[in-house]
Copies of this chain bind each other. A is one copy, B any other.
Amino acid sequence: VDLTEDELLDAIRRVLDEPAAEVVVGVGDDAAVVKAGSGDVVLTTDALVEGTHFERVLTSARDLGYKSIQVNVSDVAAMAGSPRYALCALTLSEQVDAAWTMELLGGMREACAEHGMRLVGGNLARGSEITLAVTVMGEVAPGRAVTRWGARVGDRVVVTGSLGGATAGLRASREHPPWSPEERDAIHRHARPIARVGEAVVLSHHGARAMMDVSDGLALDLSRLCAASGVGAVLDLEAVPVHPAATLDDALGGGEDYELLATVPTSDAVEAAGAELAETFGIPLTDIGAIVEGDGLRDPRGRPVEPSGWDHFR
């Protein structure tokens, strides 16, 4: 492919975008939101591909199945939706047997159970590499989906939990033990991320105007949120909550953290949301900057922050 992922997505968006009353959110956000009966339905799909997203020798089938659901649930959460149903189109190679496949499905089911979801369908095909294409459908009260284009100048920028852990975990898992407790935590975060479903609803209740999950590194994802909203951001690099096993570069440029990135109108709202997240989920919320006029990311001294995150096509 001769374009970056974002360039290709842009091109696709231009081909597909057509306003329609029943499509609340179409292509270009974490998930689609559509009208169905009396509610709004959230739809998202994401594939994990062998060799690109995982190596079979490094990942257990159970962890892989678990993660394939969580990464999709994370997209539904990022709209402030509640996940309900999952489907999986599985492409299997000759290298895996039925036992591996059942472990994979066991992991999918485990993740579904954690979110009160049901795996309602799927499809099997044969290929030369393994691909897990998962679709998750969720629901959201009409008009309550939080998109990535609602940020306004003056909003505070917040992020849940800590960043860079998944990248540090992937790195540690390729080295030999012994691992420090922080590295073990990072390895676990990479293998079994947990989508922030309840946390997203709390942020929505506290007035979050724009929200997305951090899957491709904070710098790239925040720059996407800014571009979608037609604004810029000042990112306070010293405030970014970096996982204890990770570096600031891991947090800015690594992927797969699946934390929530949001903008809220005031510092009071940040404080109130943070208190509720800490009490209910034991998860910190950190103020990492502000939405400003213009475009792109700058640090507090005005120097540009490059969005060099995970691009699937670079």
Q: Is A31 an interface residue, CB under 8 A from the partner?
A: yes
Q: Is A66 an interface residue, CB under 8 A from the partner?
A: no
The answer to whether A122 and B12 touch (CB under 8 A), given A32-B85, A135-B43, A135-B135, is yes
Flag if B87 contacts A44 (CB, 8 Å): yes
A84–B49 Cα distance when bound, in Å, is 28
Flag if B1 contacts A94 (CB, 8 Å): yes
Near B by CB (< 8 A), chain A positions 1-32 give 1-3, 5, 7-9, 11-12, 15-16, 18, 20, 22-23, 26-27, 31-32
Q: Is A102 an interface residue, CB under 8 A from the partner?
A: yes
A37–B88 Cα distance when bound, in Å, is 23
Contact of A96 among B1, B39, B48, B105 (CB under 8 A): B1
A123–B44 Cα distance when bound, in Å, is 8
The 0/1 profile, CB within 8 Å of B marked 1, for residues 110-126 of chain A is 00000000111111111
Residues of B within 8 A of A85 (CB): 23, 32, 34, 43
Flag if A2 contacts B97 (CB, 8 Å): yes
Residues of B within 8 A of A3 (CB): 98
A137–B137 Cα distance when bound, in Å, is 9
**Residue on B with the closest CB to A138?**
B36
Flag if A312 contacts B121 (CB, 8 Å): no
Q: Nearest Cβ in chain B — how far from A26, in angstroms?
A: 5
Flag if B11 contacts A133 (CB, 8 Å): no
Residues of B within 8 A of A125 (CB): 47-49, 52-53, 312
The answer to whether A16 and B313 touch (CB under 8 A), given A9-B124, A34-B120, is no
Ordered by A's residue number, 21 sampled pairs between the chains whose C-beta atoms are within 8 Å are A1-B97, A7-B98, A8-B124, A12-B122, A20-B118, A23-B85, A27-B119, A32-B85, A37-B37, A41-B137, A43-B85, A43-B120, A45-B121, A47-B125, A48-B125, A51-B128, A52-B127, A89-B89, A91-B133, A135-B135, A137-B137
A sample of 7 more A-B contacts (CB under 8 A), given A37-B39, A124-B312, is: A32-B120, A36-B37, A36-B39, A43-B137, A87-B135, A126-B312, A128-B128
